[in-house]
Amino acid sequence: MADNLSDTLKKLKITAVDRTEDSLEGCLDCLLQALAQNNMETSEKIQGSGILQLFASLLIPQSACTAKVANIIAEVAKNEFMRIPCVDAGLISPLVQLLNSKDQEVLLQTGRALGNICYDSHEGRSAVDQAGGAQIVIDHLRSLCSITDPANEKLLTVFCGMLMNYSNENDSLQAQLINMGVIPTLVKLLGIHCQNAALTEMCLVAFGNLAELESSKEQFASTNIAEELVKLFKKQIEHDKREMIFEVLAPLAENDAIKLQLVEAGLVECLLEIVQQKVDSDKEDDIAELKTASDLMVLLLLGDESMQKLFEGGKGNVFQRVLSWIPSNNHQLQLAGALAIANFARNDGNCIHMVDNGIVEKLMDLLGRHVEEGNVTVQHAALSALRNLAIPVVNKAKMLSAGVTEAVLKFLKSEMPPVQFKLLGTLRMLIDAQAEAAEQLGKNVKLVERLVEWCEAKDHAGVMGESNRLLSALIRHSKSKDVIKTIVQSGGIKHLVTMATSEHVIMQNEALVALALIAALELGTAEKDLESAKLVQILHKLLADERSAPEIKYNSMVLICALMGSESLHKEVQDLAFLDVISKLRSHENKSVAQQASLTEQRLTVES
């Protein structure tokens, strides 16, 4: 065979120049046979012989041998080491020219050759890009789209594969294809050729690649992709095929318009069916599919319109089915159920309806099952749902009397920052304007000590911020001397003073209001801590800083006046020449700030 191949390559060099078609065809057949028997070895010989350069001159539209030459190039380009030599031999430009041929076999082999040269090859893609190959292929896809005979479907499959290899994991080439309008064409292909497994698969892989790009989502949303994918999904029995569709659905469903289209196309019913079929299975594939289906369900509920459509005033079949996941024994379903409730709980109407219909008890039962050695993701999801449900004012008292605080406090010993973060947020929502509950929690020494500890969690900014906010909220909503004493004794004052310097105006404000209450109700108890935390210097800075928001300036002045009752703090105020800063604020554009500046100036003048 080796001698035979060497002879063929020598002969080919001569016949390629003479262009005697019959003997040329014989040589090409011989090469194709050798490639079929040992592709790698034959490709190495072809490269070593220098014959690749000759192929460029054989790729001419009129020749009967053109398809065979393109086929040989397609075969050798299956080897990674042959792709750059094919580019260097100048084969791309004549191959791209052949894309204008009317001969179906020439088009097929040319598409294969270009697709294989582009596979994982920057040089190959770049050369095809410069020669303008992508646009010609997209034009072919458009014009051949409606023809359903097997030969045409094979060609369409090759062209789709070529575009995929051309653009795979290359954002700029994917963006180029999107700008050329490839998406509506591929969606149309999928609709017409959904019976053809190979072409369908190729379209799905192409969608999967393109859907990762943000710029593709709008184009997808303007097609009937949702309808086509759901239609295809309903037909699939095999796990692998469904998984391929899932891989396209997940990135597409990040777009709110597409979420709604998928809901309207009936995807949710398919997902619920999968959950029902797979829930009791312990097969790995089934467990994976259950997770994918329930995760996708939760994702669809992230869109406001799609969520509201599925809620159907709390009477919807989907909402009822999701509710049934919460008491399930399957952790994945418990998690998805709690996350779905958190997503449904994104407006007051839904929250009020759910609390009135017993959702809180279901979530508390779920949390109760995960206290000791619990599943962290389930804890986090259930707490997220409770936090959202506690936002409407009318729900707070109902949730407090249902015992939510006690259920949540069981997780105080958690060492997991995501759980700590949601726990803090839930408590803060529950005590908002609930004086009795705030006082009860604020006198809970264990809780306050844990908050003070978390106020120093520098590695977890979210937990640190929420701890500070809850400390402040306990004081602001309870206005209780006992709460202030508990916080002073636990070392919380310094954190509230630091919070007044936060980069978030809302947190600064909450800190200043809490500190003003401390100064008004328990100044003697807190005096030393306020001094060592350098509160007066901080207030001076806040008032002198032009960037401070009007409400920060206003509350800082209210606090200054409240501090006058302490001899040592009063002295600090005098030493820092506050009057200069405050007299300037009398002409502040904000009326409340200007009025408070006048009052504060009078107070400081009288006291000095």
Listed range (16-20, 63-67, 78-82) with the worst mean pLDDT: 16-20
Cβ contact 419:383 at 8 Å: yes
Cβ contact 596:557 at 8 Å: yes
222-244 pLDDT, tens digit per residue, is: 999 999 999 999 988 788 888 99
Residue 20: predicted pLDDT: 61
Listed range (438-442, 520-524, 573-577) with the worst mean pLDDT: 573-577
316-338 pLDDT, tens digit per residue, is: 888 999 999 999 999 999 999 99
512-534 pLDDT, tens digit per residue, is: 999 999 999 999 999 999 999 99
Q: Alpha-carbon distance 319 to 311, whole Å?
A: 6
Residues 333, 430, 437, CA angle at the centre, nearest 5°?
Answer: 135
Cβ contact 16:57 at 8 Å: yes
Q: Which residues contact 25 (CB under 8 A, 6 or more apart)?
A: 64, 65, 68
Cβ contact 467:454 at 8 Å: yes
Average pLDDT over residues 420-449: 95
Q: Supply 523's token pair.
A: 């100044």
pTM: 0.82
Cβ contact 485:529 at 8 Å: no
- Output DSSP code: residue 312: G
Residue 49: predicted pLDDT: 85
CA nearest to 87, candidates 27, 49, 30, 131? 131
602 burial type by CB count under 10 A (0-12 exposed, 13-18 middle, 19+ buried): exposed
Helices within 66-196 (DSSP H only) = 66-76, 80-88, 92-98, 104-118, 122-131, 133-144, 150-167, 171-179, 182-192
Rounded to the nearest integer, the mean pLDDT of the chain is: 92
Distances (CA, A) of 157 to 152, 198, 220: 9, 7, 20
CA nearest to 79, candidates 29, 122, 35? 35
Q: Supply 126's token pair.
A: 């770049």
2 burial type by CB count under 10 A (0-12 exposed, 13-18 middle, 19+ buried): exposed
- Is the pLDDT at 192 greater than 70? The verdict is yes
Q: How far apart are the first and last CA of the chain?
A: 109
137-156 pLDDT, tens digit per residue, is: 999 999 999 999 999 999 99
71-107 pLDDT, tens digit per residue, is: 999 999 999 999 999 999 999 999 999 999 999 999 9
Neighbours of 336 (CB within 10 A): 27
Q: Alpha-carbon distance 212 to 205, whole Å?
A: 12
- Is the pLDDT at 608 greater than 80? The verdict is no
303-327 burial, b at 16+ Cβ within 10 Å, e below that, comes to beebbbbbbeebebebbebbbebbe
